[in-house]
Chain A
Amino acid sequence: MDFVVAAYAVIWVIFFAYVFVLARRLSALEGDVSRLKEKQ
């Protein structure tokens, strides 16, 4: 049972960590785009 719990936990921890990193990158890039467009 421990291995099953560990497997399911690993899937969701890594998945959500990746989604979190993507969301941060997206937010930073959207900020860059709007800043650069304003300066033009």
Chain B
Amino acid sequence: MERLRSLAAPATPALAALGAVAVAAAVWLVFSFAPMEKVMGMPQKIFYFHVPLAILSYVGFFITFVGSAAYLWKGSREMDHLAVAGAEVGLLCATLTLITGMLWGRPIWGAYWTWDPRLTTTFILWLIYAAYLILRSQVEDETLRAKYAAVMGIVGFADVPLVHFSVKLWSRGIHPVIERGPGDPGMHPDMFTAFKVSLAAMAVLFAVVFILRARVEFLRAEVERLKSARRP
């Protein structure tokens, strides 16, 4: 873990620069390369960042799930630091997914919000991880805080597959779903190229923010350690 941390810190500025270039390329591809969708028109352009943000929120919550399980199994405080970083960055992505989804829904559905299964389960997911962070801020004892949060990080992850499969589990939903087949991305190839670049760009920025957030947690633990070492 120490070796990983020493490698991550100097790589962050380079990753941030790469992310900035990739985002610029993605925006250019979305607006100048990908064709205009015939039914939705311009609002469909929101999809290129809305879907990658949703995928990355799953990644963040998966990190929390793995970190929480590893903490309960091994008792490693470092895994707890990674779990909280995953939850906070995942929650950032989930917040942006919900907002961009609402801004897409208004011109397409005529409403910012409907209680569609995908939207409802995503909102529940957002509440679970917001509650996870609130829980962490309310428990004073470090060990208890990590234990409670780990249990919540594991149980809360059960909503992720529910969100993902909600469009199939509840057939009454109106959230669009891309029908993909073997070798068929379910969209125009140029749209798929723009989508893949957007996903890669957002993944790089996700990595940068995750490294920074994890570093905050490691430094906070070090401050606590140094303070407790000074106490008589």
Interface residues on chain B, number (Cβ under 8 Å): 31
Indicate if the CB atoms of A14 and B95 lie closer than 8 Å. yes
List, in ascending order, chain B residues with CB within 8 A of A8's CB. Answer: 27, 46, 49
With contact pairs A33-B226, A36-B223 given, residues A7 and B99 touching in the complex (Cβ less than 8 Å): yes
A-B contact pairs, 17 of them (CB 8 A): A1-B42, A3-B104, A4-B103, A7-B104, A8-B27, A11-B53, A11-B100, A14-B95, A15-B92, A15-B205, A22-B216, A26-B215, A29-B222, A33-B219, A36-B226, A36-B230, A37-B226
Interface membership of B147, Cβ < 8 A:
no
B216 touches A26 (CB 8 A): yes
A29 to B92, CA, bound (A): 22
Report yes or no: A4 in contact with B42, Cβ–Cβ below 8 A: yes
B residues engaging A (CB < 8 A)?
Answer: 27, 42-43, 45-46, 49-50, 53, 92, 95-96, 99-100, 103-104, 106-107, 205, 209, 212-213, 215-216, 219-220, 222-223, 226-227, 229-230
Instruction: Report the minimal beta-carbon distance from B142 to chain A, rounded to whole angstroms.
Output: 16
Decide: A3 and B103 in contact? CB cutoff 8 A.
yes
- Can you add 8 more A-B contacts, CB < 8 Å, to A4-B46, A11-B49, A14-B95? A3-B104, A4-B43, A8-B49, A14-B96, A26-B215, A29-B222, A33-B219, A36-B223
Which residues of A lie under 8 Å from residue B103 when comparing CB positions? Answer: 3-4, 6-7, 10
* Contact for B222 among A3, A15, A22, A33, CB less than 8 A: A33
Interface, chain A (partner B; CB < 8 A): 1, 3-4, 6-8, 10-11, 14-15, 18-19, 22-23, 25-26, 29-30, 32-33, 36-37, 39-40
Partner of A4, one of B45, B213, B223: B45
Instruction: Evaluate contact between B230 and A40: CB separation under 8 angstroms.
Output: yes
B226's nearest neighbour on chain A, judged by CB, is A36
- How far, in Å, is A28 (CB) from chain B's closest CB? 9
A32 and B212 within 8 A (CB): no
A25 to chain B, nearest CB (A): 5
Shortest distance in angstroms between B152's beta carbon and chain A's nearest beta carbon?
22
Q: Which residues of B are found within 8 Å of A11, using beta-carbon distances?
A: 49, 53, 96, 100
A29-B106 CB under 8 A given contacts A18-B209, A39-B230: no
